[in-house]
Structures are given as C-alpha cells and as structure tokens.
Amino acid sequence: MAKKVIISESMFAKILANNLLEEANLSKEDVTKIVKDSFKNDRELNKNVEKKVKELVAKTINTLFRTLWQRRNFYEDEIKNA
C-alpha cells in the first residue's frame, strides 16, 4: 500500500522550482542574473516602472497636502499663539 505524504503549498513550490532549475542546468544565481539583465535592457519596462512611480508619488503628495489643508487650524493656532 502506498504511503501518503502531505506537504504544504510553499514546500511544493520549492520542490518544483528546484526540479525546474535542475532540468535547465541553472542555479538560482544564474536565473537572478538573467532577470536583472533583462530588466536593465528592457526600455519599455523601465518606462512603465517610471510611470507607475510618478503616479504613486503624485498621489502621495496630493494626499499629504490634502491632509495638511484639512488640519491647518491645528498648526495655525499653534503658530499664532506662540
């Protein structure tokens, strides 16, 4: 009778990743280098990342100024009374 082995999803992912690396004769360092090189050389990806960062910064600054505007009485009174 066959035995049942219960593994977690993360363990299965690790086993699968190791098997794929062994089949391709690659190490984790090789894969990391390939991915980094492809990110550096992909201009479209760089433009998309830069666009997303700019959108995030704009939204953050907008939220900051909105919060400061809403709470202006708090710091205005402190400045006037000092």
The answer to whether residues 37 and 47 belong to one domain is no
| Structural domain total, the chain | 2
CB burial of residue 31 (10 Å; 0-12, 13-18, 19+) = middle
The answer to whether residues 35 and 51 belong to one domain is no
Structural domain includes residue 2 = no
Structural domain includes residue 73 = yes
Per-residue pLDDT of the chain (82 residues; tens, 9 = 90+): 788 888 899 999 999 988 988 888 988 888 889 888 887 888 888 888 899 999 999 999 999 888 888 877 777 777 777 6
Query: What's the pLDDT tens digit per position in 29-52?
Result: 888 898 888 878 888 888 888 999
Structural domain includes residue 52 = yes
The answer to whether residues 63 and 28 belong to one domain is no
State which residues form the domain around 54.
Answer: 43-82
Q: Are 53 and 61 in contact (CB under 8 A)?
A: no
Rounded (5°) CA angle 37-42-46: 110
